[in-house]
């Protein structure tokens, strides 16, 4: 490959990318420009919530030379994970938990990273002595603006990347290189006057077109947020226990989504029985979600979400399971279980909880109980 012209080398690399399972390939320069300014403004408005890593990596996100010194080009790649149709009918099954489509299969980092490393090796063979760096949404890169400039799609009003004729059910990854490569044509925006994603959002997290307040986003609340879910968002969460796909489900461009035949992305049934999940111990959690993205939020995070979903289920048959969950070792789970029982039993929950939690000392649990008393006794 060393004797080939640069354009021929790129063609071979692109063909290799598709052979490895990537279904989108584009190249852009490393300049961030206006996207960096917009990111800093987004941070200043507090829209990152408790995602402190966003602010820690601000300088690198605005200057890719701090990520790879001497970087001249960024190869952007797209990987389709769309394996099954998804609508809003999961809301009709409140006894089951809904999990975001991307999390129904193996952790995509484990799937994409080896392929990315193989492609990186191919690039290094083609461009002798070049420096490279790879990322699968694990580093300080503004990957969506870069992917748009690389022609892979445009950033929609919900802030996800959309590809014309493909939709938005895919992962992004990048290879930075200190060799100047010809840039792809920038993707045009085709959202038009559509506001389906804005209107469907259960928590009004899309505060303006192309602006997301993460603190309101359900995917932030049930994944990124590690502590207590603010009470004002709990009912809107419904039975979503890991992520939220609503804005993608209603996007008209996803009607063109093509299913991948990638075996690694063949997911399991996305509806999980809540009463089974709420009583999982550590061993069962590790067994059931081994190799899954869900392991990221740990048992305490998932069962916190399950407790909220049970509180929204209106299913009184779940009360005995929630009563057992009051004995869970994790205060975070017990606290949200208190709220769930309050939603299901209303005023009657006070006497029950006072008895079951007579020896409770954890502040977050007691705060939930006090909140119930104020809610039902004050009125």
Residue 166's nearest CA partner among 248, 275, 270 is 248
What's the chain's average pLDDT?
95
Longest CA–CA separation in the chain, Å: 81
Q: What is the average pLDDT across 46-72?
A: 97
Domain boundaries, the chain: 6-83+107-177, 278-379
Map residue 97 onto helix, strand or coil. strand
| pLDDT of residue 184 exceeding 80 | yes
Catalytic site residue 137? yes
User: 221-260, pLDDT tens digit by residue?
Assistant: 999 999 999 999 999 999 999 999 999 999 999 999 999 9
Residue 270: what pLDDT?
Answer: 59
Single out the catalytic residue among 3, 23, 110, 137.
137
Residue 316: what pLDDT?
Answer: 97
User: 294-346, pLDDT tens digit by residue?
Assistant: 999 999 999 999 999 999 999 999 999 999 999 999 999 999 999 999 999 99
Sign of CA dihedral 267, 269, 274, 280: negative
More confident: 261 or 104: 104
| pLDDT of residue 44 exceeding 50 | yes
| pLDDT of residue 3 exceeding 70 | no
Residue 2: what pLDDT?
Answer: 44
| pLDDT of residue 120 exceeding 60 | yes
Angle at 346 between CA 324 and CA 329, to 5 degrees: 25
More confident: 378 or 261: 261
Parallel, antiparallel, or unpaired for β 96-99 and 73-80? unpaired
Parallel, antiparallel, or unpaired for β 96-99 and 271-273? antiparallel
| pLDDT of residue 379 exceeding 90 | no
For residues 32 and 62, the answer to whether their CB atoms sit within 8 Å is: yes
User: 150-176, pLDDT tens digit by residue?
Assistant: 999 999 999 999 999 899 999 999 999
Residue 1: what pLDDT?
Answer: 45
User: 9-26, pLDDT tens digit by residue?
Assistant: 999 999 999 999 999 999
Chain-centre distance of CA 283, in angstroms? Answer: 25
Map residue 172 onto helix, strand or coil. strand
Confidence tier at 266 by pLDDT (50, 70, 90) = confident
Map residue 231 onto helix, strand or coil. helix
């Amino acid at each position: 490959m060393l004797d080939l012209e640069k354009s021929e080398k790129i063609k071979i690399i692109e063909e290799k990318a598709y052979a490895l399972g990537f279904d989108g390939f584009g190249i852009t320069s490393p300049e961030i420009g206006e996207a960096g300014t917009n990111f800093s403004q987004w941070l200043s408005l507090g829209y990152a919530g408790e995602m402190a890593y966003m602010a820690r990596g601000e300088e690198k996100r605005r200057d890719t030379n701090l990520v790879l010194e001497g970087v001249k080009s960024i190869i952007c790649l797209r990987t389709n994970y769309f394996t099954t149709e998804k609508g809003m009918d999961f809301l009709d099954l409140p006894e089951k938990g809904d999990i975001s489509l991307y999390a129904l299969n193996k952790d995509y980092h484990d799937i994409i990273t080896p392929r990315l490393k193989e492609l990186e090796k191919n690039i290094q063979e083609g461009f002798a002595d070049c420096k490279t760096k790879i990322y699968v949404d694990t580093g300080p890169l503004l990957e969506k603006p870069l992917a748009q400039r690389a022609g892979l799609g445009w950033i929609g009003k919900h802030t996800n990347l959309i590809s014309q004729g493909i939709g938005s059910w895919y992962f992004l990854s990048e290879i930075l290189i200190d060799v100047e490569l010809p840039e792809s044509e920038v993707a045009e925006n085709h959202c038009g006057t559509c506001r389906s994603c804005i209107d469907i959002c259960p928590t009004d997290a899309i505060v303006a077109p192309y602006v997301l307040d993460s603190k309101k986003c359900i995917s932030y609340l049930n994944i990124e947020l590690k502590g207590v879910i603010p009470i004002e968002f709990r009912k809107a969460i419904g039975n979503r226990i890991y992520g939220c796909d609503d804005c993608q489900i209603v996007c008209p461009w996803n009607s063109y989504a093509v299913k991948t035949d990638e075996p690694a992305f063949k997911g399991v049934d996305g509806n999980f029985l809540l009463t089974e999940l709420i009583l999982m111990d550590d061993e069962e959690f590790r067994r059931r979600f081994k190799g899954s993205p869900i392991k990221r939020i740990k048992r305490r995070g998932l069962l916190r979400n399950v407790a909220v979903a049970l509180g929204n289920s209106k299913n009184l048959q779940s009360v005995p399971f929630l009563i057992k969950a009051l004995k869970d070792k994790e205060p975070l789970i017990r606290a949200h279980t208190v709220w769930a029982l309050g939603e299901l039993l209303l005023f009657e929950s006070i006497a029950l909880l006072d008895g079951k939690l007579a020896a409770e000392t954890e502040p977050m649990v007691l705060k939930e109980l006090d909140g119930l008393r104020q809610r039902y006794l004050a009125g």
